[in-house]
């Protein structure tokens, strides 16, 4: 029997080319932990980022033009920004260290610089990026989401 995953959510990015994603996410500390190359079926890779707060795993499907023929996504224009109206949120223990690396290596991808935010009960800091296909990624200090 396999061990249960912590949050029971799998994020899968459908993209026509893995290389821009691998290059981008590796600069954020992710590493490829599984690679099933394309062949009869589209390819699949899994990337993981380790952090004292826990691992983050992202999955990528496609790596060629067949990604545009997926049953649901083929309804949309190929130029549609990926992940429209969705934010991928990744809590990290040391946001200052990560942001410094991002500012040096992915400056052109920063949508929102590292800033302090607050609501009625919480104060935290976060920053936002867009990956090569437009997926909106937020790195944040840990907030109590009821986990």
Instruction: Write out the DSSP string of the chain.
Output: -PPPPSS----EEEES-HHHHHHHHHTTT-EEEEEE--SSS-EEEEEEE--TT--EEEEEEESSGGGGGSTTGGGS-TTSPTTTT-EEEEE-S-HHHHHHHHHHH-GGGEEEEEEEEE-SS-EEEEEEEE-TT--EEEEE----S--
Cβ–Cβ under 8 Å, residues 133 and 105: no
- Does the domain spanning 12-140 belong to CATH 3.40.50.300? no
Q: What is the per-residue pLDDT across 32-72, written as a single tens digit (0 to 9) for each?
A: 999 999 999 999 999 999 999 989 999 999 999 999 999 99
Task: Please give the pLDDT value at position 9.
Answer: 85
Q: Is this model's pTM higher than 0.85 or not?
A: yes
Calculate the average pLDDT of the chain.
Answer: 92
Task: Please give the pLDDT value at position 110.
Answer: 98
What residues of the chain score a pLDDT lower than 70?
Answer: 1-7, 146-147
Task: Please give the pLDDT value at position 65.
Answer: 94
């Amino acid at each position: 029997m396999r061990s249960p995953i912590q949050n029971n959510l799998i994020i899968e990015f459908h993209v026509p080319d893995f290389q821009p994603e691998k290059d981008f996410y590796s600069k954020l500390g992710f590493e490829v932990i599984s690679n099933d190359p394309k062949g009869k079926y589209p390819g699949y890779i899994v990337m993981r980022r380790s952090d004292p707060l826990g691992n983050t795993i992202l999955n990528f499907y496609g790596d060629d033009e067949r990604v545009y023929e997926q049953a649901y996504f083929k309804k949309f224009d190929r130029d549609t920004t990926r992940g429209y109206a969705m934010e991928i949120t990744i809590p990290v223990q040391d946001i200052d260290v990560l942001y410094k690396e991002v500012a040096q290596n992915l400056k052109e991808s920063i949508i929102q610089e590292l800033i302090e935010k607050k609501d009625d009960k919480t104060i935290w800091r976060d920053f936002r990026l867009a990956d090569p296909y437009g997926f909106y990624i937020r790195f944040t200090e840990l907030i109590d989401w009821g986990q």
